[in-house]
Amino acid sequence: MIFEIVVVGPLGVNCFILGCEETREGVVVDPGADADRILARVRALGLTIRTVINTHGHFDHIGGNRSVLEVTGARLMIHRDDVPFLSRATDVAANYGLATENSPPPDELLEDGKTVTFGKCALKVLHTPGHTPGGCCLLLEAEGKVITGDTLFAESVGRTDFPGSSHEALMASIRTKLLPLPDETQVYPGHGPASTIGREKRYNPYINE
């Protein structure tokens, strides 16, 4: 499977480009900004993007949605509980002195346990509320990888000081949805370096508090 990361925007969001090597069908996860760079890489890989997925609705993860969707004709997916964020991105970003675009509404909703296919590849949706009510992780079981958005970072966890956030819910999500995965599962967060489930069990101070 094609698995590439493009770091985008002033907040350094990890945007993921996933693709089936056989059919060249693909998915873009969290096109937060710099849509031109994302699309250039998609073209270089020879992929047809069928789906854009937002792990959650914060502006730094959705700011490139509109441009990527317009160029690719893909469908947009996000969890129901984070849909309200899509139309508020411009205003929220302005509060941080940043500029971004509001996103179009989703074409389909993410749900816990849902499988999203692209070519002969598949990912499984894990609803992991806490950072946001509709935050989700994306499990690539055949690859031994999980994209964790802003739920779990290398030796850290997502912030829970935003409206709608809950530290208790976040920790429950991590313990019930992520920590049961095999220790060797590679963790790819929404910001910063990769890790593994086993490493986070040993070294993440939030998990061990």
Quote the pLDDT of residue 208: 80
Domain boundaries in the chain?
A: 2-203
Strands 25-29, 13-19: pairing kind: antiparallel
The packing angle between helices 65-72 and 35-45, to 10°, is 40
Place of tokens 């049961």: 180
Are 117 and 12 spatial neighbours (Cβ–Cβ below 8 Å)?
A: no
Q: What values do phi and psi take at 83, rounded to 5?
A: -55, -40
Compute the CA torsion angle 193, 159, 29, 35 (nearest 10 deg).
-90
Residue 36: CB atoms within 10 A of its CB come to 12
Prediction pTM value = 0.98
How many helices and strands (H and E) does the chain possess?
6, 14
* The CATH classification of domain 2-203, taken from the options 3.60.15.10, 3.40.640.10, 3.40.50.10540, 3.40.50.720: 3.60.15.10
Any idea what DSSP says for residue 21?
A: T
Q: Tens-digit pLDDT profile for the chain (209 aa)? A: 999 999 999 999 999 999 999 999 999 999 999 999 999 999 999 999 999 999 999 999 999 999 999 999 999 999 999 999 999 999 999 999 999 999 999 999 999 999 999 999 999 999 999 999 999 999 999 999 999 999 999 999 999 999 899 999 999 999 999 999 999 999 999 999 999 999 999 999 999 86
